[in-house]
Amino acid sequence: MMRKCVYMLVISLGLVAVVGFTTRQLACKKCTKSSIEAGLQQEQIGSDKIIGLGLLQVLTADTLTSDLHVANIQLEEGSYLHWQTMPGGRVIIVTEGEGFYQSKGKDVVRIKKGDTIETFPGLYHWVGATPESGLEFISVTSKKSDALIKWHETVTEKEYRAAIDLAEAS
């Protein structure tokens, strides 16, 4: 029951961040210092982290007192992120498109709009779009550790093709 409450809290905070911070960060009325960011910028995901093309839009500022880091990630058709771990764990909320998720040593899971994935701290995994569809998702991670994300080796073409084959077989 407690895990379900924590999970719902994280999802709710993520959705509040998406709705409340997509165009600007509102000033805290009780804070001694406030911050307003209009028109949050998107940046291209570096080629050292992705095969294909993707955009990252950070939706929370480092000045917030929360330990949550919320970002919107957009992957073009056939694009996929390298293997990665999050020291604080991660919640993925798929908002558009279709794609794949796989944790190391486990079967590939096909994901689509409305799906939510929760990873525990340090879980080795990758996320990618299908060849026919882009993928967009909200990533909620914890800032409790110095590194939000640790990048690892590239997902091989063989691993990505296995995901496609599995999806086509089902």
**pLDDT tens track for 46-97:** 999 999 999 999 988 766 567 888 999 999 999 999 999 999 899 999 999 9
Average pLDDT over residues 10-15: 49
**Can you give the pLDDT at residue 146?**
63
Ranges of each domain in the chain: 2-169
Share of the chain above pLDDT 70, in %: 73
User: What is the C-alpha to C-alpha distance for residues 129 and 105, in angstroms, rounded to an integer?
Assistant: 20
The verdict on domain 2-169 having CATH code 3.65.10.10 is no
Q: What is the pTM of this model?
A: 0.76
**Can you give the pLDDT at residue 131?**
96
Positive or negative torsion for Cα 15, 20, 26, 30: negative
Mean pLDDT of the chain: 81
Helix (H) and strand (E) counts for the chain? 2, 12
Measure Cα distances from 59 to 43, 95, 162 in Å.
12, 15, 33
User: What is the C-alpha to C-alpha distance for residues 63 and 132, in angstroms, rounded to an integer?
Assistant: 38
Contact (CB, 8 A) for 148 and 84: no
Q: What is the dihedral of CA 170, 125, 22, 146, to 10 degrees?
A: 170
User: What is the C-alpha to C-alpha distance for residues 166 and 154, in angstroms, rounded to an integer?
Assistant: 20
The one-character DSSP state at 45 is P
Which of 3-7, 70-74, 157-161 comes out lowest in average pLDDT?
A: 3-7
N residues, the chain: 170
Q: pLDDT: is 41 or 126 the higher one?
A: 126
7: pLDDT strictly greater than 70: no
